[in-house]
Structure formats: structure tokens, C-alpha cells
Amino acid sequence: MTFKNKTAIITGATSGIGRSVAQALHQSGSNLILNGRDATRGKELKELGPQVIFEQGDVKEPQLNQRLVDKAMENFGQLDSVVLAAGQLGIGRLDQLSIEDWQDTIATNLSAVFYLLKHAIPALQKQSGSVVIIGSVAALHAFPEHPAYTASKGALPALVKQLARDYGPSVRINMISPAQVLTPLLKDSVRAFEHPETILQETADGLPMKRLGLPQDITNMVLYLLSDKAGWITGSNMVVDGGFLST
């Protein structure tokens, strides 16, 4: 799979899955418009070379998403793919969760998908482009004290199907639902569990694959879905979970 001279936007690119995807697409020759909230990590990404542009900001701000598309068109003249990897947890039982945390989580995990794709789809249509949204098995399985997260991720499969129907065949739109992948977000999520110091090892031991996921495990599926090899796949939710939903 090669992405030489293609242009991609990646949100959540400063850590975890987003960063892994950015590095893989860079190595494959893509032009990249990268987004994240961490300016220091963003500077490290910019040092990858002139084909990498970093735009700091929060995806829950509609104007930021417009700027990402504008930068792709202004600097590279086209947009071939979008990977939405930004995420937020919003941990807390529903009656204890603040209204601000609820709104921020929904805005980051769901509304930001609307904001970015609203502006990106017209450009993607010109290139027969592809979109991959990073969801979660939380769309299919409840976790302790994650109501905002599960609600926001649970809406994505329905949205993906709708967009696939509305924009095929000129744009393919799919999502990936990972289980427990070793990222900063996962390490933050363990505070909702009764034994946070041991829950990750216990989770790994309980999976059929006997290990937690790595960002590269998800990146491999992202690259496949973005490539021409997945040319007849749209509207799908690919679960990459080490067998978690089988347990």
C-alpha cells in the first residue's frame, strides 16, 4: 500500500493511534495536515519534513476544522483522506458527571466528526477519497462510569452508515472500533475501575490474544481502509479488539 503524493488530515495526531497513523502515512510518502492540542509534540511532528503541517487546536471548535481543510487545499491542492483520531473520556457516573464534561466529550468524539467532514467531503469527492473514524468497542459494550464516552462513540456507527449511503461511491467512509490499546487515553480510563493498578494486566490476561493492543495494530487497519485494496468497503465498523467482545 502506497500513499505517495496523497494528502491526509489526521486529528489527534500528537499521541496514541493518531500519532502512529501519522508516522506510517509520512513514511509512505503522504502530505499531512496534522492536528492536536499539544504544541510541544506538534513541533516534533513538524520536524518530520516540509510535507508535514501541524495546526494546533481543539477539534471541538468548528473553525479549527475548517482551517485544516483550507490548509490541505492551500498547500497541497487536494485532499485524499481523513483520519479522525481525537478522543476524550468524560469519566463519571451520569448523576455525578458535570454538564461541561458531558458537552466536551460529545463535542470531541461526535460533533467534531460533523465539523471536519462537513468541510472535507466536497474536497474528498474530487479525489474519490476515504475517511476512517476511530471509534471504540464502547459503542458495543458498557464500561464502568463512561456514559459520555459510550454515548458519543455509540452514535458513530449509525453516522458512518448514513454518510456511506449519502456520499458513495465518490467517498468511502468507515470506522474502526478498538478495544484496549496502550495509549494515554487508556491509561487515563483505568481510574474508573475498582483496581486501577492491576486492571490493565487483568484485561490483557483475559483476552484471547493475551495482550493489550498497540497503536500499530489499529494503524494497520487504518492503512488498509484508506487504500485501494478496500475499494468495496464503506459504511463498515471494523472491530479490532484482540477478541475482547468474544469474552
The mean of the pLDDT values for the chain is 95
| Mean pLDDT computed over 56-72 | 98
Strand partners, 7: 31
190 close to 199: Cβ distance less than 8 angstroms: yes
Q: Can the peptide bond before residue 169 be classed as cis, meaning omega within 30 degrees of 0?
A: yes
Question: How far is CA 199 from its chain centroid?
Answer: 24
φ, ψ of residue 10 to 5 degrees: the values are -130, 120
| Mean pLDDT computed over 52-56 | 97
Class of 7-246 in CATH: alpha beta
The least confident of 70-74, 122-126, 188-192, 237-241 is 188-192
Question: What CA–CA distances, in Å, run from 225 to 161, 171, 228, 232, 234?
Answer: 15, 12, 8, 10, 9
pTM, two decimals, is 0.95
With H, G, I as helix, E, B as strand and everything else as coil, classify residue 150: helix
Which residues are annotated as catalytic?
149
Domain edges within the chain? 7-246
pLDDT at 1 over 80: no
15 close to 41: Cβ distance less than 8 angstroms: yes
Using CA atoms, how far apart are residues 199 and 193, in angstroms rounded to an integer? 7
